[in-house]
Amino acid sequence: MVETGQKVLVHYVGTLDDGSEFDSSVRRGEPLEFIVGSRTMLPAFERVVGDMEPGEERTVRIPAEKAYGPYDESLVEMVPVDAFPHAEQLPVGEYIVMSIGSEPLRVKVDKIENGYIFFDHNHELAGRDLTFLIRLESVRHESAIERERHPAGCACGCDRLKKALSAS
């Protein structure tokens, strides 16, 4: 079993109910690396990986509610065309990244009609059940050198992260 705070390498293939592939580390030829418990992955994905042993392969189906949530119509925003410079050049049906303040925001340009641009703020997989074929390639155990570099109370806060992750 993988412990919270350990770095893992996994290969995965993500598919939708119709069998179409939406993401694959196998296709990219490079495993995904993440720290278990860091909340950088879907919690259900992390739980499965946390219960695996290196070399093990599992298939998990994550319902939309536990993945990216249901599709929410209220997250479609109407913006007047004249409030958006170069609106006619927007790629309808595709995602764009806009800068709102200091944060980038990825939205889908849903349509342009009746003087409005419709921006969809839903995650592109919202409302979709996801299936992952996951293979745990390896678990990286902290070496003595890394422990020396990061003793309890070090300035980087790694000990506090491990404690917080193990409490959740």
Residue 108: Cβ within 10 Å count: 19
**pLDDT band for position 59 (cuts 50, 70, 90):** very high
| Structure confidence at residue 143 (pLDDT) | 47
| Structure confidence at residue 30 (pLDDT) | 96
Domain 73-120 in CATH 2.40.10.330: yes
Residue 37 CA, chain-centre distance (Å), reads 13
| Structure confidence at residue 7 (pLDDT) | 95
Domain 7-68+126-167 in CATH 3.10.50.40: yes
**pLDDT band for position 167 (cuts 50, 70, 90):** low
In the chain, % helix, strand, coil (3-state, to 5) comes to 25, 35, 40
Q: What is the Cβ-side half-sphere exposure of residue 17, based on CA atoms within 13 angstroms?
A: 7
pTM of the model: 0.74
Residue extents of the structural domains in the chain: 7-68+126-167, 73-120
Least Cα distance to 77 among 122, 14, 16 occurs for 122
* pLDDT tens-digit readout, 91-135: 999 999 988 778 899 999 999 999 999 999 999 999 999 999 999
d(C-alpha 102, C-alpha 79), whole Å? 20
* pLDDT tens-digit readout, 14-39: 999 999 999 999 999 999 999 998 99
Q: Which residues contact 162 (CB under 8 A, 6 or more apart)?
A: 4, 5
pLDDT at 147 over 50: no
pLDDT at 141 over 80: no
